[in-house]
Amino acid sequence: MEKVDIIIGIASYNNAKTIGHVVRAVDAGVAKYFPDKKAVVVNSDGGSTDGTPEVVRNTAFDHSAIFLSHPVYPAHRISIPYNGIPGKGSAFRAIFERAVEMGAEACCVVDADLRSITPEWMELLLSPVIKRGFDFVAPLYNRHKYDGTITNSIVYPMTRALYGHSIRQPIGGDFGFSGPMAEFYLKQDVWETHVARFGIDIWMTTEAIANNFKVCQTFLGAKIHDPKDPGADLADMLLQVIVSLFNLTEKHFEIWKNIRGLRDIPTFGFRYHVGLEPVRVNVERMLDIFRTGVKDLKPILIEILGPGDFGEIDALIGHPDKDFRFPIGLWVRVIYDYALTYHRKKMSSEHLLKSLVPLYLGKTASFIMEAADIDHDGAEAEIEKLCREFEERKDYLINNWI
Amino acid sequence: MEKFSEILFQPFRDFWQWFVKFAPNLMAMLIIIIAGLILAWLIRLVMLRILRVINFDTWSDKVGLTALIRKGDVWAKPSDFFGYAVYLLLAVVFVMIGLDALQIKVIDNLLSQFLLYLPRALSAILILIIGYIIAGFLSRGVLIAAVNSGYHHAKLIAEAVRLLFIILVLAMALVELTIARGIVIAAFSILFGGVVLALAIAFGVGGIDAAKRIIEKAREEKKEEKGRDIEHI
């Protein structure tokens, strides 16, 4: 197979409406920032029925409109169907395969439903690899303070507490990585697990950190994309992401048990604030599911949390909506207890993780009410407090791990 | 007089001859039973070892098997309980084989009937145990899914699922035991069909107003609020 320098992967499934914009931005970015590199856009498609691969192949881009001074050539494009479990992870696996086969020096993956991607994203995701020798580039975004609640309340604080790396968007979804990193990913035997689906993002980030690859993050601006598929169930997303997080916690115990403190990681890009779309939240419904869940799932929750912590949660259901607050110390104990129960294999992982949904919604509702009157920086300060709580209570997880 | 003594002692002679002829069978029976009981005990010990190595007790806790035997007022560890159950079963089998060595027609008939029925009885027990575990698993899955979907009667739905599944399992076990097969199948069809129909009517007719309210409320909310939904990831 012909050797290339850069591979840009786009995982898609029925994204005909948006993928044209993504391909144009990628094309322009590669042409503008890496004109002397040989690049290929790999669209890994999950069997779209709306003509997504055709859009990828036929998207035309008038380079003369933005490149006035020199002639440029569009990146070669290929569209491939992937095999295995349907999901983002399987699509990425096909991209890693191409990267290794083509001997790519640097790669990046971007979502097919992005509306806010610009040509600069290519430079921001690929330059740290090509010019600075990094192996893994995590994204940093401007997001609405209510968005990314699984990231903010579980994945970011726990990953940071365990591995001591402050990667703010460990499951951001748009990553840059080196050829050796792609080869490492491809060699792992995880493609029949939740990593093949939504678990891919946390898996990529954690494996990069835990295996001492050179990691950085880069500011990409706002992340705006098409509304998610309404069929994408919250419980399934939570299950796939958290099972992957807990599997990694299991796998890397010997590494994270000795890690203390926080290591700053290099951050690239010019940070700025942008206006973001308003977000619709229904706190009443979240609290309703929380209260029903605590009442109906009592035996399961006692088995996981023990009577003490369950008692504290049970006491919360009597609070009126406006006064409802989920204490952060209690939340950290809840997540660590779920990790311990998963480790001890005391019940089916699906039941275990799906029983977390009502508690997660209670925590999310609490955060939304706390953050209602504060700005983006204030919301970040609240998340920082939660992270410190995770770090301070890490010994609880270690001491009970046996 | 000689004739009288003949009449008097003949039964004893006959009995002695029968005993001399029967004694090897009796000995064989005793040896089979004693050796069988020792073998059953050894098998129990090996089985206990294996169950402990594979963490059977933890698995039993996880799938609800421990809870099942606790309901039967058994407080031993699941591995001990199943080890003892296997020992008893083997003991019964060896006693029956031992009795077969006596070569008494009535016992032979009883034994052949027992051996013919044994696989069915074991299958029925297995169906009940596996059915109970699956019923618990399904019911818990339904409970969690219903709670996460915001249903206020999640427990009721989960219990209905458990009940329906247990009815199905009981019917399967009874059919396996060939107990009044026709009646069991007819009763099961009527009962299962009846419960499903009743639930369909209850949810369908009874839930029309509730469904209408939910849909209208959701529409109003969509109209009132601007913007997109929250992103969890």
Mean pLDDT, range A258-275, rounded to an integer: 85
For residue B7 the two structure tokens come to 């009449």
Mean pLDDT is lowest, of A156-160, B88-92, B214-218, for B214-218
Give CA–CA dist B204/A98, Å, rounded: 52
Q: Is pLDDT of A169 > 90?
A: yes
Contact B230/A at CB under 8 A:
yes
Find chain A residues with C-beta within 8 A of B144's C-beta: 235, 297, 300, 351, 354-355, 357
Give CA–CA dist B14/B22, Å, rounded: 12
Which amino acid is present at B154? A
Which residue in the set B137, B140, B231 is minimally distant from A228, CB to CB?
B231
Q: In angstroms, what separates the C-alpha of B176 from chain A's closest C-alpha?
A: 30
Q: What percent of chain B has pLDDT over 70?
A: 86
Query: Which of A74-78, A82-86, A352-356, B166-170 ranks highest by mean pLDDT?
Result: A352-356
For residue B211 the two structure tokens come to 């469904």
Give CA–CA dist A191/A248, Å, rounded: 14
Mean pLDDT, range A135-155, rounded to an integer: 90
The set of residues, in sequence order, having a beta carbon less than 8 Å from that of A283 and lying 6+ positions away, is: A321, A365, A368, A369
Please work out, in degrees rounded to the nearest 5, the angle formed at the alpha carbon of residue A304 by the alpha carbons of A302 and A307: 35
For residue A346 the two structure tokens come to 């005391």
Query: Which of A46-55, A87-96, B222-231 ranks highest by mean pLDDT?
Result: A87-96
Question: Residue A234's closest chain B neighbor by CA?
Answer: B232
User: What pLDDT band is residue A228 in, cutting at 50, 70 and 90?
Assistant: low
Q: In angstroms, what separates the C-alpha of A290 from chain B's closest C-alpha?
A: 9
Q: In angstroms, what separates the C-alpha of A350 from chain B's closest C-alpha?
A: 8
Residues of chain A whose C-beta is under 8 A from some C-beta in B? Answer: 143, 146-151, 171, 173, 198, 201, 227-228, 234-235, 237-238, 241, 277-282, 285, 288-289, 292-293, 296-297, 300, 345-348, 350-351, 354-355, 357-358, 364
> Given the DSSP bridges, would you call strands A175-178 and A39-45 parallel, antiparallel or unpaired?
unpaired
Mean pLDDT, range A4-9, rounded to an integer: 93
Query: What is the Rg, in whole angstroms, of the alpha carbon atoms belonging to chain B?
Result: 30
Mean pLDDT, range A247-253, rounded to an integer: 94
Q: In angstroms, what separates the C-alpha of A228 from chain B's closest C-alpha?
A: 8
Contact B230 A288 (CB under 8 A): no
Q: Is pLDDT of A235 > 60?
A: yes
Q: Is pLDDT of A229 > 70?
A: no
Contact A241 B233 (CB under 8 A): yes
What are residue A81's DSSP bridge partners? A45
Half-sphere exposure of A253 (CA within 13 A, CB side): 14
pLDDT digits (tens, 9 = 90+) for A81-133: 877 778 888 999 999 999 999 999 999 999 998 888 999 999 999 999 999 99
Best CA proximity match to A273, nearest among A225, A219, A226? A219
User: What pLDDT band is residue A230 in, cutting at 50, 70 and 90?
Assistant: very low
Give CA–CA dist A240/A194, Å, rounded: 5
Q: What percent of chain A has pLDDT over 90?
A: 58
User: What pLDDT band is residue B214 in, cutting at 50, 70 and 90?
Assistant: low
Mean pLDDT, range A371-393, rounded to an integer: 91
Give CA–CA dist A151/A169, Å, rounded: 7
CB-CB contact of A160 with A391 (8 Å):
yes
Sign of CA dihedral A325, A327, A332, A333: negative
Find chain A residues with C-beta within 8 A of B145's C-beta: 235, 354
In this prediction, residue A342 carries a pLDDT of 92
Q: Is pLDDT of B2 > 80?
A: no
User: What pLDDT band is residue B57 in, cutting at 50, 70 and 90?
Assistant: confident
For residue B143 the two structure tokens come to 């409970």
Find chain B residues with C-beta within 8 A of A224's C-beta: none
What is the homologous superfamily of the domain A6-268 according to CATH?
Spore Coat Polysaccharide Biosynthesis Protein SpsA; Chain A (3.90.550.10)
User: What pLDDT band is residue A136 in, cutting at 50, 70 and 90?
Assistant: very high
Backbone angles phi, psi at A257, to 5 degrees: -65, -25
Give CA–CA dist A301/A293, Å, rounded: 9
Give CA–CA dist A281/A287, Å, rounded: 12
Q: What percent of chain A has pLDDT over 70?
A: 94
In this prediction, residue B224 carries a pLDDT of 54
In this prediction, residue B35 carries a pLDDT of 95
Contact B55/A at CB under 8 A:
no
pTM, two decimals, is 0.79
Mean pLDDT, range A337-366, rounded to an integer: 92
Mean pLDDT, range A187-204, rounded to an integer: 89
What does the domain layout of chain A look like in residue ranges? 6-268, 283-399
Question: Residue B229's closest chain A neighbor by CA?
Answer: A280
Q: In angstroms, what separates the C-alpha of B150 from chain A's closest C-alpha?
A: 5
pLDDT digits (tens, 9 = 90+) for A211-225: 999 999 999 988 887
Give CA–CA dist A247/A266, Å, rounded: 27
List B residues 196-225 in contact with A (Cβ-Cβ < 8 A): 221, 225
Residue with more model confidence, A260 or A73: A260
Which H helix or E strand runs over A228? none
What are residue A359's DSSP bridge partners? none
Looking at every residue in chain A, the average pLDDT score rounds to 89
Mean pLDDT, range A55-83, rounded to an integer: 67
User: HEC profile for chain B?
Assistant: CHHHHHHHHHHHHHHHHHHHHHHHHHHHHHHHHHHHHHHHHHHHHHHHHHHHHCCHHHHHHHHCHHHHHHHCCCCCCHHHHHHHHHHHHHHHHHHHHHHHCCCCHHHHHHHHHHHHHHHHHHHHHHHHHHHHHHHHHHHHHHHHHHHHCCCCCHHHHHHHHHHHHHHHHHHHHHHHCCCCHHHHHHHHHHHHHHHHHHHHHHHHHHCHHHHHHHHHHHHHHHHHCCCEECCCC
User: What pLDDT band is residue A227 in, cutting at 50, 70 and 90?
Assistant: low
User: What pLDDT band is residue B72 in, cutting at 50, 70 and 90?
Assistant: low
User: What pLDDT band is residue B208 in, cutting at 50, 70 and 90?
Assistant: low
Which residue in the set A235, A279, A346 is minimally distant from B230, CB to CB?
A279
Give CA–CA dist A24/B18, Å, rounded: 104
Q: Is pLDDT of B211 > 70?
A: no
Residue with more model confidence, A17 or B227: A17
